[in-house]
Each structure stands twice: as C-alpha cells, then as structure tokens.
C-alpha cells in the first residue's frame, strides 16, 4: 500500500472538453444503529473499455464536517463546478469518483439519534469500512479495479486510519477490494507542526509583521504545552486563537496567500446540492457541520 503526500491539487491534462452529464449512482448505508452515511458515485467518462477499466477513487473531505459531495465534487474535481458549468479537467475523465459525506452528520449523511455521532477517528474508520462493504456488494464490478483513498486536510487524517482498518478487513476476508494506495492533500497529520509553520511562512509573505510573528509564536508555544499535558480541549481552543489572530492581522486565513476567492463555496454549494439529482431524499444537507467539529474536538489537535 502506497502513501503519497500532495501539497498541490492535482490537475489532469487530456480531454479538451468536459461532459456535463454521465452515469452516476447514489445511496445511503446504515453503517450502524441510527447512523446513515451517504455516497455518490460518478462513473468514469472513459472511451473504449469504459468505467470498468478505470480505478476507483474514494474522496474524503476535511473539516471535520465538510461535505465531499459538496466541496470535493463541485469545487474541486467533479465534472461540474459550483455554477454547474462543465469542468474541462475533471478527474472523472480518468477515474470513478466515490464521494462520501463523512463523518455522519456531514452533507447528506445523518443520524436519527445524537448518540450516534462519531466521537473519534476509530469510529469514523469503522463506519467507512461498513459503507464500503455494502457499496462493493451492491456494485461488485468495483471489487476488481484499483482502489485509492484520497483525503484532504482533516480528511487526510481520516483517510490514513480508514486505510489501516480497510487493509485489516481485506486481510481477514471481510471485504474484497484492490486497495492500492492512499493520497493525502495537505493532510492534517501533525497539527502542531503544521501550525508552527504559519508564522514564519506568513511573515515571509509579508502578511505578518514582527510583532504579529512573535504573538503567533507565543500561541504556538501554549498549544505545545497544552498537548504535552494532554489538555486536548484547551489545545484546540488555543489553535482557534491562532487562526483568529492570523485572520485578524492578515485579513485572511493562513492558506489564502494569493487572496484568490474563485468560488463562493458555502452559499453556492448549498444551492447546487439542493438542486442536484438527489431530489428523492428529504434529509437536510450541511456544507460544513460545526457540531461535528465540536464532537471531534479531542481528535483535532493530537
């Protein structure tokens, strides 16, 4: 199993025009009592042998609580953008894309009892294994194609743990699939080390002055101290303080160095997903679930 770290979004080159419509499928999986996880499959737009000759990519968004069917699909790699215009370089030209709204509570995934929300990555991984087991039973042709798990930001953290759980399930014969690798885009694997780079990086980009740099450094030291003493909630609160400090003094988030806001993701994605082909479902759609961030607080920083 191969782990690949990506710092940039992959851009495919190939087809000069994008297909606005293609074959797709979607459904819910009752991954455990009161927990219902939603998946949306976009079949590969491939000539010749078609989708059966293409790999399967499982896309996990970050947050925790951001929607894969919203962000990943419409804002990043799907065949249509947030304005429902064809995307010329969609990954669907080269792979089958399985977007999973994960953890339960994100996107179209939901619970019927608040006690069913996931509280840690182990539960998230088990839910994903349960979903994939049902998916591969429903669509057995994907048991024999190369399978890759992609995770972005906090999704990278979930992808790594999911891959370990899936590999164990494959080894025990619980699931039949061809797991080939895990790809992490700005994976949230070592949060304190990532946060410690914000100051020097933003300072060199002239987004912080020396006083701001010193203030941010002091917050990072406080986060390290909280983590060393296993005060995880306090560490997460301090991390939020670091984010707020950067946003206040630089008028942007730590990743917005280009000042480019190509989409209006929250509002536009909410509208698009409401208008999409999922009209048969009456459940609500959540682009980002603040509740999941709170419930997974203990897992954000370690």
What angle is formed at CA 270 by the lines to CA 83 and CA 260, rounded to 5 degrees?
55
Here the tokens at position 284 are 């609500």
pLDDT at 254: 62
pTM: 0.79
pLDDT at 136: 98
| Partners of 110 in beta bridges | 36
Cα(60)–Cα(75) distance, rounded to whole angstroms?
14
How many of the other CB atoms lie within 10 Å of CB of 71? 28
pLDDT at 42: 96
- Is CATH 3.40.50.300 the classification given to domain 24-189+266-298? no
pLDDT at 189: 81
pLDDT at 15: 31
pLDDT at 183: 94
pLDDT tens string, the chain, 302 residues long: the values are 444 444 333 333 333 333 434 789 999 999 999 999 999 999 998 877 789 999 999 999 987 888 999 889 988 999 988 888 898 889 999 999 999 999 998 889 999 998 998 888 899 999 999 999 999 999 999 999 999 999 998 888 899 999 999 999 999 999 999 999 999 988 888 888 888 999 999 999 888 899 999 999 999 999 999 989 988 888 888 988 998 888 887 666 666 666 555 445 554 545 444 444 444 444 455 544 455 555 555 455 55
Going from N- to C-terminal start, the domains of the chain cover 24-189+266-298, 191-250
Spatial contact of 167 and 71, defined as CB atoms under 8 Å apart: no
């Amino acid at each position: 199993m191969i782990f690949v770290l990506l710092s940039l979004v992959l851009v495919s080159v190939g087809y000069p025009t994008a297909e606005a419509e293609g074959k797709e499928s979607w459904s819910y999986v009752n991954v455990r009592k009161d927990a219902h996880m939603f998946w949306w499959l976009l079949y590969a737009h491939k000539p010749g042998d078609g989708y059966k000759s293409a790999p399967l990519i499982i896309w996990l968004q970050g947050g925790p609580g951001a929607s894969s069917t919203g962000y990943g699909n419409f804002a990043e790699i799907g065949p249509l953008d947030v304005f429902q215009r064809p995307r010329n370089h969609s990954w669907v030209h080269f792979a089958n894309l399985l977007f999973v709204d994960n953890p339960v509570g994100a996107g179209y995934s939901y619970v019927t009892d608040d006690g069913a929300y996931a509280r840690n990555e182990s539960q998230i991984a088990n839910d994903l294994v349960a979903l994939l087991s049902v998916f591969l039973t429903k669509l057995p042709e994907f048991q024999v194609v190369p399978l890759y798990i992609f995770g972005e930001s906090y999704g990278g953290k979930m992808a790594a743990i999911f891959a370990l759980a899936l590999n164990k399930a494959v080894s025990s014969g619980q699931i039949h699939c061809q797991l080939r690798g895990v790809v992490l885009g700005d994976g949230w694997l070592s949060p304190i080390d990532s946060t410690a780079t914000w100051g020097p990086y933003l300072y060199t980009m002239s987004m912080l002055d020396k006083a701001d740099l010193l203030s941010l450094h002091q917050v990072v030291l406080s986060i390290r101290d909280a983590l060393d003493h296993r005060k995880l909630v306090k560490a997460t609160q301090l991390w939020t303080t670091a984010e707020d400090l950067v946003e206040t003094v630089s008028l942007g988030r730590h990743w917005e160095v280009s000042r480019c806001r190509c989409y209006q993701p929250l509002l536009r994605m909410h509208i698009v997903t409401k208008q999409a082909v999922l009209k048969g479902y009456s459940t609500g759609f959540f682009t980002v679930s603040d509740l999941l961030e709170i419930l997974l607080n203990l897992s954000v920083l370690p």
